[in-house]
Amino acid sequence: MRLTRRSGLVASLVALTLLIGLFVKPANVTFAQGGAQVILVPSAATQSTDLRINLQVSGFASNESLAIWETFPDFTVLPLGASNVNSAGMANIELKMNQTFPIGTHYISVRGEKSKYYVIATFQLLPPVVKLDRGVSIEVSKGGVGAKQGDFYSFVGTGYRLREPVALWLTYPDGTVKDLGQVRTSREGTWGASVAFGPKDPVGRYFLTGYGITSNRTGVATIILTGGMTVQVAGAAKLESNRSETKQLELLELHGSGFLPGEPVSLWLTESNGKVWYITELIATNGQFTLPGYLAAVIPDQGSPIGPTTFSAYGNASKRLATVTVSLWAGSGL
């Protein structure tokens, strides 16, 4: 699944060298060193306009300074600044969970500057309780009942405040929730967005929810997804990368072959979270192409989340499709 229109929610976040996935354990304190400990109270809560959590820190060196940062569900990172513990190595720190933060598992990391102790704790940010408001509606202009994997569907929301941000999320058939970021309404209080379902998205009933941040108005649209069809692609087009693994902000070079001589080829990028970004269209001279210069493994203004990242090339005349997947790891910062 991917959302093709979204505001720059994480445009200001910084990519750091933290690979959280290696340390995750099914407990509130997910990773700790020495006697250091971090407890979050509460450890889970729904989005609200004034959500605050208490960070209870203990076991650090006396009076040392702490570096604190928050890692979002897509592994982008928000530095939270520094704080100090008392002579007993303890502190109570209040953190605000902004209403614009994405739904899902957040990781709060604390590092002692003197002891070098490093602790990670998890926090579950849940979607607001859905209460439908009269006068608010979300309509599916394409798809709906009978929607198939691999298709795009457009949504239009009405009845919101003018120029307000609207948080969007998708509830899967098994009840899990995926954050889709935000859109902003027009001067008429309407917004539009498009969602596409991939072949790995489960079939069943989905709910797309639009929540007005300032109006507290909520609308829901229902989609029943059915199995898609496998497209038969003629020919032997191939797309290759000069790297099988890369880091954020490092550069890649793509090479395509097996297309028709002189045909236009469209390229796009599918991130590990399912979002799709159009890259460019170029001409396959003699059926081949090399992307001019190098392609940065980070989208301008929005760091790509780590994980399997797929590049796709589609021949507009031959209908040939080729893909290549690289493993994207956390970079060294901007």
Same domain, 39 and 79: yes
Q: Give CA angle at 24 (20, 26), nearest 5°.
A: 155
Residue 156 three-state SS: strand
Residue 227, pLDDT score = 64
196 located within any domain: yes
Residue 321: what residue type? L
Enter the DSSP assignment of 49. Answer: T
Residue 114 and residue 47 share a domain: yes
* Domain-ending residue, one of 72, 104, 126: 126
Into how many domains does the chain fold? 3
- Note whether 118 and 211 are same-domain residues: no
The answer to the question of residue 334 being in a domain is no
Mark whether 310 and 286 lie in a shared domain.
yes
Q: Low-confidence residues of the chain, pLDDT below 50?
A: 1-31, 144, 229-232, 299-301, 332-334
Within a domain: 169? yes
Q: How far apart are CA 233 and CA 270, in angstroms?
A: 19
CATH number for position 57: 2.60.40.730
End of a domain among 60, 93, 126?
126
- 221 and 133 in a common domain: yes
> 33 and 97: one domain?
yes
CATH number of the domain to which 143 belongs: 2.60.40.1930
According to the model, what pLDDT value does residue 228 have? Answer: 57
At 143 the pLDDT is: 52
Question: Do 117 and 134 belong to one domain?
Answer: no
The CA-based angle 159-164-167, given to 5 degrees, is 85
286 and 271 assigned to the same domain: yes
Indicate whether 43 belongs to any domain. yes
Q: Choose one of 226, 249, 272: the last residue of a domain.
A: 226
17 lies in some domain: no
What domain range is 114 assigned to?
A: 24-126
Residue 253 lies in a domain: yes
Is residue 70 included in any domain, yes or no? yes
Q: Are 262 and 315 in contact (CB under 8 A)?
A: no
Whole-number pLDDT of residue 331: 60
142 and 222 in a single domain? The answer is yes
Say if residue 278 is in the same domain as residue 325.
Answer: yes
How many whole angstroms separate alpha carbon 78 and alpha carbon 277? Answer: 23
- Alpha-carbon dihedral 181, 184, 188, 194, rounded to 10 degrees: -40
Q: Is residue 233 part of a domain?
A: no
Of 139, 181, 133, 142, the closest CA to residue 161 belongs to 133
**What pLDDT, on a 0 to 100 scale, did the predictor assign at position 16?**
24
